[in-house]
Amino acid sequence: MKTLPLKIILLVAALWLPHSAYAANSILVFGDSLSAGYGIAVAESWPSLLLQELKRSHPGFSIVNASISGETTLGGRQRIAKALQQHHPSIVIVELGANDGLRGYRIADTEANLDEIIKQSKQARAKVLLVGMRLPPNYGAAYTAQFHNIFPGLAKKHRVKLLPFMLDGVSPEQFQRDNLHPAAVAQPHIMRSVLKELKPMLR
């Protein structure tokens, strides 16, 4: 009996495996302008820097940046299902909420939208890294405290990883002129902050 070449055997076996068995692990960055690279070159944004780092340290992972400048949690809630279906991520980095807070949206609505995004991501068998945000003090002590508490509360409820504050350690001079968006010089620091929480999820 003639023996089939090894290459053919491996090819046939691969065709019978489900797509997830041999596809690269995809990380979905699901955020707003802070992750979309607003005001800087895309290659300088923290998701692009993260991809470069993962190519070196974890070459089995890829990144899809589905962040949109100006995005709210409601907008994210409305498009998360399609993003999950399209990209089949193994990890979802949820970075939303800042625009809700800056526009003074109801805390309950922001929390409910993030809750649904996390829930759908977990139902799609993806791990979730929730990225926290804070507001300037001029929004009032009560509102800023309630907004801040959204993120650790949801992380605890869903048992997902939390980066408490994405911009922690970014100095005032590292922001763009609008004082809202970090400049290119701050992106490596943000990337390292995200990576610190992400690393245990890559195992």
Q: Which residues are catalytic?
A: 33, 178, 181
Instruction: Record the tokens describing residue 138, joined without a space.
Output: 């001029």
CB count within 10 Å of CB 110 equals: 22
Structure tokens at 28: 């979905």
Distances, alpha carbon 49 to alpha carbons 79, 108, 186, in Å: 25, 34, 11
Residue with tokens 């195992």: 203
Helix boundaries (H) for 58-140: 73-87, 98-102, 107-123
| Cβ atoms of 159 and 123 closer than 8 Å | no
Of the candidates 148, 146, 150, the residue with the CA atom closest to the CA atom of residue 168: 148
The residue type found at 191 is M
